[in-house]
Structure 1
Amino acid sequence: MIGTVVWGTGNCGRAAIRAVEAHPALRLAAVLVHDPGKVGMDAGELGGVGRELGVLATDEVEAVLATGPRAVVYAASGDTRPEGALADICRAIRAGAVVVTPALHTLYDHRSAPAELREPVLAAIQQGGGSLFVSGVDPGWANDVLPALLSGLGTTVQAIRCQEIFDYSSYDQPDAVRNLVGMGKPMDYQAPMLAPGVPTMVWGGQLRLIARALAAELEDVRETLERRQLERSVRSAAMGEFEAGTQGAVRFEVQGIVGGEPRIVVEHVTRIHPSCAPDWPTPPNQAGAHRVIIEGLPRIEVTVEATDEGGNASAGGNATAVGRLVGAIDWLAEAEPGLYDALDVPLRPVAGKLGRSPR
């Protein structure tokens, strides 16, 4: 079995512990944490497995990497510390590990990534013989392999739209929701995630992957942004009060221009409460969904709803993103060392998974 380390135990890390423990080809070898309060806790408790797994969390990174783990699921955040995340990931690759992660947005399509990000990874691969596969958390498969697959079902394809539609009220990430996205902030607040150019930095790689899959020439990438304020104060069980007059909903598009038109679009529609911007697209369950729309002949529309951790849609989205990453580990372990993307790594069934639960 492939000894696998889970590095980070937040929203994605919890799901990663469960996914590694349930995978028939993987063995949970260690769990790395940053919070001193988590050191010594059993991985089963941190991952919500419902029983002890006999693996205790540690913050001793060098000691864990010195054991030569074959794989690392890097689930620590890279949103506010991209340099730190890159350094951590390179350390793991130099130790010879296959690393899968959602933390480095700019390496989603590594062929278009800046040299200062790509070259340290390639150097680490050369030095240690590890590999890297980066995929998104929104989730990545819904913005790359799913639209690419569905495009093959059509006679003609005029445009591809990938939507994430979510109610953030149950999302247990107050710093990201309030400070990065700006929910509950004054309407003149510049949310870092919505600053011009940032959506392209985060999601532009997905446009390039789809364009490459379809052998289309991406001429430009454009952004659109709409924001709505709350008409009344609302309360989130996870994050508390959001006052009337503050930002309550955001809708933006990252558009890939082909032939002068937006032909490949990643769209995000997020709210802090269903009452805000009710005229915008809504998910069937009011909580969250991912949708791919292929405009053409025939018109194809697929909506995916996922829930986890007691029916939470945000947790379900994280879990499917993590499932894509963890499910790739055994394939990557057999492949040559390298820097891989979503078009390289097949999305495939896992033998022995049917009916299986975490051991």
Structure 2
Amino acid sequence: MRRVVQFSTGNVGQHSLRAVIGRPDLELVGVHAASPDKIGRDAAQLCGLTEPTGVIATDDLDALIALRPDCVVYTALGETRPMEALEQMSRILAAGINIVGTSMVWLVTPRQLDDWLRVPLEKACAQGNSSLYVNGIDPGYSGDTAVHAALSLVTRAESVTIKEVFDYGNYDDAEYTGAAMGFGTAPDDDLPMAFQPGVIVAMFGGLVRNLAAALGVELDDVRQRFEPWYTPERIECAMMTVEPGRLAGVRFAAEGVRGDRPVITVEHTTRLTPAAAPDWEYPPNGLDGVHMVIVEGEPRIELTTHLSHPVLDVTEAGCVSTAARAVNAIDWVCDAPAGLIALEDIPPTAMIRGLMW
């Protein structure tokens, strides 16, 4: 039985919290919450369960560390406050507590990290004899597990394209995702944060370089591209209301090139409702969102992953699966050697152990 602390209860954290509570091989011993309206509440209330757990949310990191859990599930938003998240993670790891998480997407490819992030985390892992693993759906599954499976089916690959094609209209996250992508902004506004020079490569270039290293391919460059779409009509959705002339769709990519030809591409087509960007690619078969891997090679492979749920929409189902990519690794990570762990370090069967009871 692994003793676990859940760190944050937001879009992803509420689902990892629910998963930890439900699994018979995990024991929830603590919950971290930053919002005043969540502190002091039972963990069950924070993830939609009715039976109290007796575990009360706190913002006291020292108190959670004092519980001596085996692992912390770290799902707090870190991309907008990287130094604070780095400090929190380092304190946990240095105290001898392992971390699995979905935050700080750069950590999905730890072998591609810049020193400012890698060095303090490696030092903390060494000090605490602890391990850190971060993954998700995208970045994550689509750029590692899915693409590895697709490539295993060809005798030669000419190019690889990893795509997320999603309607974000029902994703209630205007504060971070909406603002970062610039939804609702005008053409003469400043370029959205996510598409400033170098940001796409910073966020997704590690996936490109990691796959190139796995393939034994030497790239000449990793570059980015971005294309906005402004709506001529008013669009209303859960994310926000977008007035005419404002941004309601984005298409962007990180491309690994040889010569001037992209050979490894990580691309996103993101719209608010099906009305946005009608000339761009839609998910197949009328679906709301998919992750795809396309390998041009011998033979050509196209692998499509669609998430669904009887109650939740596709974006929230994606949050469930993002949480799963962390929770399902807890047992293995707790037994792993100290250090930063990449997906390729974990045996595939270790990620499915304990899922059926």
Aligned equivalent of 2:296:
295
Q: CA deviation at 1:303?
A: 1.2
In structure 2, the residue corresponding to 1:353 is in which secondary structure?
A: coil
Aligned equivalent of 2:83:
83
- Asked if the contact 1:139/1:317 (under 8 Å) is kept, the reply is no
- Asked if the contact 2:137/2:325 (under 8 Å) is kept, the reply is no
| Whole-Å separation in 1 of the counterparts to 2:50 and 2:302 | 37
Distance 1:31 1:255, change over 3 A: same
| Whole-Å separation in 2 of the counterparts to 1:140 and 1:309 | 24
Aligned equivalent of 1:213:
214
Aligned equivalent of 2:230:
229
Q: TM-score, normalised by structure 1?
A: 0.93
Q: CA deviation at 1:178?
A: 3.0
Which sits farther off after the overlay, 310-319 or 79-88? 310-319
| Whole-Å separation in 1 of the counterparts to 2:136 and 2:261 | 25
Q: CA deviation at 1:240?
A: 3.8
Aligned equivalent of 1:317:
318
| Whole-Å separation in 1 of the counterparts to 2:137 and 2:38 | 24
Q: CA deviation at 1:110?
A: 2.2
| Whole-Å separation in 1 of the counterparts to 2:138 and 2:112 | 20
Q: TM-score, normalised by structure 2?
A: 0.94
Distance 1:180 1:170, change over 3 A: same
| Whole-Å separation in 2 of the counterparts to 1:79 and 1:211 | 25
Aligned equivalent of 2:328:
327
| Whole-Å separation in 1 of the counterparts to 2:328 and 2:82 | 24
Please tell me whether residue 252 in structure 1 is matched to residue 224 in structure 2: no
Which sits farther off after the overlay, 296-305 or 46-55? 46-55
- Asked if the contact 1:6/1:32 (under 8 Å) is kept, the reply is yes
| Whole-Å separation in 2 of the counterparts to 1:208 and 1:255 | 10
Aligned equivalent of 1:181:
181
In structure 1, the residue corresponding to 2:292 is in which secondary structure?
A: strand
Distance 1:243 1:79, change over 3 A: same
- Asked if the contact 1:167/1:286 (under 8 Å) is kept, the reply is no
Q: CA deviation at 1:208?
A: 1.9
Please tell me whether residue 102 in structure 1 is matched to residue 98 in structure 2: no
| Whole-Å separation in 1 of the counterparts to 2:76 and 2:347 | 24
Distance 1:40 1:233, change over 3 A: same
Q: CA deviation at 1:258?
A: 3.8
In structure 1, the residue corresponding to 2:58 is in which secondary structure?
A: coil
Q: Which amino acid aligns with 1:152?
A: S
Aligned equivalent of 1:27:
27
Q: Which amino acid aligns with 1:182?
A: G
Q: Which amino acid aligns with 1:153?
A: L
Which sits farther off after the overlay, 157-166 or 137-146? 137-146
Correspondence for 2:353 among 337, 351, 354: 351
| Whole-Å separation in 1 of the counterparts to 2:313 and 2:52 | 23
| Whole-Å separation in 2 of the counterparts to 1:78 and 1:133 | 15
| Whole-Å separation in 2 of the counterparts to 1:186 and 1:347 | 45
- Asked if the contact 1:182/1:191 (under 8 Å) is kept, the reply is yes
- Give me the identity figure in percent: 37
| Whole-Å separation in 2 of the counterparts to 1:64 and 1:70 | 11
Q: Which amino acid aligns with 1:90?
A: S
Distance 1:3 1:170, change over 3 A: same
Which sits farther off after the overlay, 195-204 or 313-322? 313-322
Q: CA deviation at 1:32?
A: 0.4
- Asked if the contact 2:255/2:265 (under 8 Å) is kept, the reply is yes
- Asked if the contact 1:15/1:322 (under 8 Å) is kept, the reply is yes
Aligned equivalent of 1:13:
13
Number of aligned residue pairs: give it: 354
| Whole-Å separation in 1 of the counterparts to 2:268 and 2:352 | 30
Q: CA deviation at 1:141?
A: 1.0
| Whole-Å separation in 2 of the counterparts to 1:159 and 1:97 | 40
In structure 1, the residue corresponding to 2:12 is in which secondary structure?
A: helix
Please tell me whether residue 144 in structure 1 is matched to residue 130 in structure 2: no
- Asked if the contact 1:327/1:350 (under 8 Å) is kept, the reply is yes
In structure 2, the residue corresponding to 1:11 is in which secondary structure?
A: coil
Q: Which amino acid aligns with 1:351?
A: R
| Whole-Å separation in 2 of the counterparts to 1:239 and 1:300 | 34
Q: CA deviation at 1:341?
A: 1.1
| Whole-Å separation in 2 of the counterparts to 1:50 and 1:162 | 40
- Could you give the per-residue CA deviations for residues 215-245 of structure 1, whole angstroms, max 9, x where no partner exists? 2223310111111111200111x24421011
| Whole-Å separation in 2 of the counterparts to 1:352 and 1:240 | 39
Aligned equivalent of 1:167:
167
Q: Which amino acid aligns with 1:235?
A: E
Give the ranges of 4+ consecutive aligned residues of structure 1 lying more than 3 Å apart after TM superposition.
Answer: none
Which sits farther off after the overlay, 120-129 or 135-144? 135-144
Distance 1:272 1:70, change over 3 A: same
What are structure 2's unaligned runs of at least 5 residues? Answer: none
In structure 2, the residue corresponding to 1:264 is in which secondary structure?
A: strand
| Whole-Å separation in 2 of the counterparts to 1:42 and 1:308 | 26
Aligned equivalent of 1:65:
65
